[in-house]
Amino acid sequence: MEYNTGRNHLVIREYGRHIQKMVEYLLSLE
């Protein structure tokens, strides 16, 4: 259980980083 929760948290962090990069890319287009 704990391992799975920690794993999900790590995935969410990685996902957030990709979202931030995408947002910065979209802002740079304007």
Domain ranges of the chain: 1-29
Instruction: Report the pLDDT value the prediction gives residue 18, as an integer from 0 to 100.
Output: 96
Instruction: Report the pLDDT value the prediction gives residue 2, as an integer from 0 to 100.
Output: 66
pTM of the model: 0.55
Q: Is the dihedral of CA 10, 12, 18, 21 positive or negative?
A: negative
The residue assigned the tokens 């920690």 is 6
Instruction: Report the pLDDT value the prediction gives residue 30, as an integer from 0 to 100.
Output: 79
Percent of the chain with pLDDT over 90: 57
Q: What are the phi and psi torsion angles at 28 (to 5°)?
A: -70, -20
Instruction: Report the pLDDT value the prediction gives residue 9, as an integer from 0 to 100.
Output: 86
Q: Per residue in 1-28, pLDDT tens? A: 566 777 888 888 999 999 999 999 999 9
